[in-house]
Amino acid sequence: MCPHTSLKQQFLKKWIMGLQRCSFSKKNMSILERKKTIKLSADIAMASARNGTTRWSRALISNASKDGSDNRLVQQILGPDSNTPAATTTNKAGTRRASVCKKIVKRSHQIRRRRRKCVAAAPVKAVTSSISEHLVRKRRQVLKTLIPGGEFMDEICLIEETLDYITSLRVQVDVMRSVASACFSQS
Amino acid sequence: MESNAGTTEPRSNLTASDGAQVTALESLHFTDEIHRLISAPVTDSSTSFMALLELPPPQAVELLHSSDSPKLLATSSPNVEDFKGSFHFPSNTGLIERDARFSGEANNSNGKRNSPEPKDLSANPEKAVKSEPAETESSQPLVSDPALEKRSIKRKDRENKVKGSTKKSKTAANESSEDAEKLPYVHVRARRGQATDSHSLAERARREKINARMKLLQELVPGCNKISGTALVLDEIINHAQSLQQQVEFLSMRLAAVNPRIDVNLDSILTSESGSLMDSNLPSLVMPVMWPEVQGNGHRQQYLHQWHVDALHQPVWGREEVCNNYITPENSLLTYDSSTNSETLHANQLKMEL
């Protein structure tokens, strides 16, 4: 994809650098560990290619650096990066906000349920729209679990982050696939 | 171009004081940009769409709309002042005049007329749509496109806001807003016969924003164009995202099966490379280095590929069970097979499958 060449190059460069930094310990690792390292470095390279402009990238980096075992790896890959402390603080604020929002949402759901019971002869349109809203809401929940850091986003942000996330996933898959095919093309 | 000539003429009658003087200029610029856009290397629809994606979502949507929608509605009056960051929503009179004119216009000329606004005067590419300052901040790094698309997109955003009111109401509750990108207000016109209180207007603006982005997502994910209904579209998007994530997993596993010394060589190759890395340069340079180091792990890769194909076909929402399923068989295949013959055979199969 021509317009994404710069992004691909950036991602590839960061990924290779990250792999180099943790490659010295790779001699004795099992294949699963290697796969985890590769995937982690690829994800972090992808996220850092965004330079902290999108929420999912910040959430991904902060999630990776939260975990104790991966922390060292992340620090190695990122180097002296200033993104990580900022990401953690935003996430904490996000969790607090999210818990408050969840209470409010729960309360409003209860109220809505009560109101729906009161409305006896609701027109068909309202009923079908509420069903569709229910379906859409369920799918939004699933989408929130997919996108890193998605639980703290409202609808608009969620869709934007999905857009960005899907494009960067595509770039990641393209680059990894071409590297893999380059590795195995000699036959 | 006759259509341009046709557009310049009505535009000269527009009420905007500033616009008239730059009308001819705009049309000239516009033809240039159209030529540039047409001659730009576009291989297929997906790549052109990817170019679109580098723009902030609302603007990209509007570009799509401007190319797709047969009936375009009134544009805002061309305001030249405050170019750097601002949009100006049309004044009432300008709108009304354009309403009258639009009903008789051809579709193409509509689209073309909408695009040339006085945006070429600013040096910096405009990033902020006035009504949506927030997301432009976040999507700024994505912006890297020719000026024309931006302009038509910004234009289209104004059109979208105005859309509801054209042909309907002169009873607009809100005036067009002035000012810079920092404006927190969203100015939306009330449609005829609809409530004009602030809550419903804000709700409607929000819904329009969401719909615009959903349309963009639909264009992005293949096969979502024909689906109508938000729930099904979201289904497809979820499936697509999950399949992409699974592909990343599989590819990383595949790469893990290769000797790690490859990474160093790749890096040196990269630093020496100046052109695009996705060409055949990469495999050709990597080949003489890789060959002695690649281990025989054909079995694992074959198994991986089977899983890859199977998992992609299933519309499974829970990713966890899929991952668990494929990790446990991998454990049984951890022993490296150093037979080069089988490796070549499997590598060939993989290549053909890909």
Q: What is the CA radius of gyration of chain B?
A: 27
pLDDT at B283: 45
How far apart, in Å, do the first and last CA atoms of chain A sit?
Answer: 27
The answer to whether the beta carbons of residues B330 and B249 sit under 8 Å apart is: no
**CA atoms of B259 and A58, how far apart (whole Å):** 31
Q: What six digits make up the tokens of B275?
A: 């052109």
Whether pTM > 0.80 for this model: the answer is no
**CA atoms of A99 and A77, how far apart (whole Å):** 32
* Residue B38 burial (CB count, 10 A): 8
Residues in chain A: 187
pLDDT tens for each residue of B161-201: 444 444 444 444 444 444 444 556 666 666 676 777 888 88
Helices (H), strands (E): how many in chain A? 7, 0
**CA atoms of B148 and B146, how far apart (whole Å):** 6
Q: Which residues of B touch A34 (CB under 8 A)?
A: 256, 260
pLDDT at A125: 59
The residue of chain A with its CA nearest to that of B300 is A31
* Residue B302 burial (CB count, 10 A): 17
Q: Which helix (H) or strand (E) holds B49?
A: helix B45-53
Verify whether the Cβ–Cβ distance A23 to B264 is below 8 Å. Answer: yes
Q: Which residues of A touch B139 (CB under 8 A)?
A: 53, 160, 164
B-proximal residues of A, 116-175, CB under 8 Å: 132, 135-136, 139-140, 142-143, 146-147, 155-157, 159-160, 162-167, 169-170, 172-175
The answer to whether the beta carbons of residues A76 and A65 sit under 8 Å apart is: no
Verify whether the Cβ–Cβ distance A160 to B135 is below 8 Å. Answer: yes
Torsion of CA B296, B302, B307, B312, to 10 degrees: 110
Average pLDDT over residues B252-278: 56
* Residue A136 burial (CB count, 10 A): 17
Which of A51, A159, A172 to mutate: most B Cβ within 10 Å? A159
Verify whether the Cβ–Cβ distance A136 to B231 is below 8 Å. Answer: yes
Interchain CB contact of B292 with A (< 8 Å): no
DSSP per-residue letters across B116-162: --TTTT-SSPP--BTTBHHHHHHTGGG----HHHHHHHHHHHHHHHH
**Contact residues for A182 (Cβ-Cβ < 8 A; gap 6+):** B282, B283, B286, B287, B290
Q: Which residues of B touch A131 (CB under 8 A)?
A: none
With a cut of 70, say whether residue B129 has pLDDT above it.
Answer: no
Q: Read off the pLDDT band of B246 (50, 70, 90).
A: very high
Mean pLDDT of chain A: 74
With a cut of 90, say whether residue B243 has pLDDT above it.
Answer: yes
**CA atoms of B246 and B225, how far apart (whole Å):** 23
**Can you tell me the ipTM of this complex?**
0.74
pLDDT tens for each residue of B73-95: 333 344 444 444 444 444 444 44
* Residue B136 burial (CB count, 10 A): 22
Q: Which one, of B121, B114, B135, lies nearest residue B181 by Cα? A: B135
| Ramachandran quadrant class, B81 (left: phi over 0; alpha: psi -120 to 50; beta: rest) | beta
Encoded amino acid at A41, one letter = S
Verify whether the Cβ–Cβ distance A181 to B264 is below 8 Å. Answer: no
With a cut of 60, say whether residue B4 has pLDDT above it.
Answer: no
Encoded amino acid at A88, one letter = T
With a cut of 50, say whether residue A35 has pLDDT above it.
Answer: yes
Verify whether the Cβ–Cβ distance B135 to A169 is below 8 Å. Answer: no
Verify whether the Cβ–Cβ distance A132 to B230 is below 8 Å. Answer: yes
Verify whether the Cβ–Cβ distance B138 to A147 is below 8 Å. Answer: no
Mean pLDDT of chain B: 53
Interchain CB contact of A17 with B (< 8 Å): yes
The residue of chain B with its CA nearest to that of A172 is B248
Q: Which residues of B touch A181 (CB under 8 A)?
A: 283, 351, 354
Verify whether the Cβ–Cβ distance A169 to B235 is below 8 Å. Answer: no
With a cut of 80, say whether residue B98 has pLDDT above it.
Answer: no
Q: Which residues of A touch B255 (CB under 8 A)?
A: 35, 38, 176, 179-180, 183
Query: Which sign does the torsion angle of CA A178, B262, B307, A169 carry?
Result: negative
**CA atoms of B138 and A149, how far apart (whole Å):** 15
Verify whether the Cβ–Cβ distance B260 to A55 is below 8 Å. Answer: no
Q: What six digits make up the tokens of B62?
A: 């509007």
Percentage of chain A beyond pLDDT 70 is: 68
Residue B132 φ then ψ, to 5°:
-130, 70
pLDDT at B290: 41
How many CA atoms within 13 Å lie on the side-chain side of A95? Answer: 7
Q: Which one, of B264, B334, B253, lies nearest residue B299 by Cα? A: B334
Better-predicted residue by pLDDT, B140 or A67: A67
pLDDT tens for each residue of A113-153: 777 766 544 556 566 778 888 888 898 888 888 888 878 87
Beta-carbon pairs below 8 A across chains A and B:
204
Percentage of chain B beyond pLDDT 70 is: 18
The closest CB to that of A183, out of B220, B234, B258, belongs to B258
With a cut of 50, say whether residue B130 has pLDDT above it.
Answer: no
